[in-house]
Copies of this chain bind each other. A is one copy, B any other.
Amino acid sequence: MHNLALVQRELFHAGPMSRADLARATGLTRVTASGLVGELIAREVVVEQGPRARSGPGKPGVLVDLDREGLQVISLDLSGAEAYRGAVMDLTGTILARLEEPRRGRETSDQAQATVLALARNLLALADRRVLGVGVGTPGVVSDQGVVLTAPNIGWDGVPLRDLLHRELSVPVVVRNDANAAALAEQTLGGGDPDMFLVRVGRGVGGALMIRGELVVGRYNAAGEIGHVPVGEGGGPECVCGKRGCLESWISVPRLGELVQEAERAGRPIEDVLSGAGTKLGILLAPIVGALNLSDVVVAGPRSLLEGTFLDAAQEALRSRILGRFHTQVRMRLPADSDDIVLRGGLVMVLESELGVS
């Protein structure tokens, strides 16, 4: 069981190879690897791709690989302000179909659940291959049982979303916080460092932390929630949460929009605004990056706002606070591929839970 996952993981990351290659890569014997591949072929997860182009001496091997185009995954991103979005994807990450369900203002919790369920159902109907599972990235705090403990934006409070969808759809379902989904996507598909912090800048500000390739969930499933931690010693604009100077009150997209508009009206350079906001992010991140000795910080959000001035200022503020006697280096960057990062995270979630790929 454990070694089946090992083989799947190796295939996922290294691509098509022969059974003998697989044995060398995993450290198993050729016999064992061959047996495991047989089992996976029987499960219709792995397929043979014909003989390898002959290269050296010896019998050419038969390439095997995950059935990347013969298996599909449904992915949902519930973090959008205007709509719930979803897609049918194959294991390559290619989006084969998209659907959206607009969010009606002032939906009840039950209405939102029904809308999400309908979206998932419609996507499932669009899938034309075997569906491995459904991966959902939602705003809010999610338990490891897939219960949305609290999601103010959607009006959810203790909604057992995973069990609900699983009961209605009869396929495996994984539910996680949207920032966690994004971090998984960046880690597994984007080649992030095994130790990584990802900041998601949107209507709100959230984050996700990966250590040694695994998500950190925290004591109350709220790890990564840095939006409402005040920057520095205090002071600053009042935040919706009642405190002053929370990170979110400095760098959320709506807030940055306001500040940019103000600057434009007053004829001041926009760079000053973006640079100031980036600095706030760097200040807040410094203790985290220092305490965890991180080397990779990803900032996911609107590229037009974040790329350049904002990110440079954040990185400068962070580095100047971290640099010290330890040969520590840290880079701040945008995601390798920021399009549909939460949807791709949903794919990774299913791969992780169904195939043990991570």
Q: Which residues of A contact B (CB under 8 A)?
A: 141, 150, 152, 193, 195, 197, 207, 209, 211, 216-226, 228-233, 241, 243, 283-288, 290-296, 320-322, 324-329
Quick one: closest B residue to A247, CB to CB?
B287
Known: A284-B287, A285-B287, A287-B284. A218 touches B294 (CB 8 A): yes
Complex Cα distance, B219 from A152, in Å, reads 35
Per assembly, the copies of the chain total 2
Closest to A328 in B: B220
Q: Given A243-B321, A324-B241, does the pair A291, B232 have CB atoms closer than 8 Å?
A: no
Q: Which residues of B contact A152 (CB under 8 A)?
A: 325
Q: Assuming A229-B321, A233-B283, A321-B243, is B220 touching A326 (CB within 8 A)?
A: yes
Q: Which of B218, B226, B229, B283 contacts A195 (CB 8 A)?
A: B218
Chain B residues within 8 Å of A207, by CB: 291
Docked-complex contact B294 and A228, CB < 8 angstroms: no
CB distance A291 to B326 under 8 Å? no
Inside 8 A of A216's CB, which chain B residues have their CB? 211, 292
Q: How far is the CA of A153 from the CA of B285 in the complex (A)?
A: 28
6 extra A-B contacts, CB within 8 A, seeds A209-B292, A219-B293, A233-B283:
A216-B292, A225-B293, A229-B287, A229-B321, A284-B287, A287-B288
Q: Most chain-B Cβ atoms within 10 A of its Cβ — which of A290, A296, A321?
A: A290
Q: State whether A321 touches B219 (Cβ < 8 A).
A: no
What residues of B have a CB within 8 angstroms of the CB of A290 in the complex?
225-226, 228-229
**Considering only CB atoms, which chain B residue lies closest to A289 in the complex?**
B229
* B327 A220 Cβ-Cβ under 8 A: yes
- Residues of chain B within 8 A of A328, CB atoms compared: 219-220, 222
Most B CB contacts (10 A, CB to CB) among A219, A222, A320, A322 go to: A219
B219 touches A294 (CB 8 A): yes
- CB-contact partner of A223 in B219, B229, B231, B293, under 8 A: B293
Tell me which of B141, B209, B211 contacts A326 (CB under 8 A).
Answer: B141
> What is the CA–CA distance of A229 and B319 in the complex, to the nearest angstrom?
10
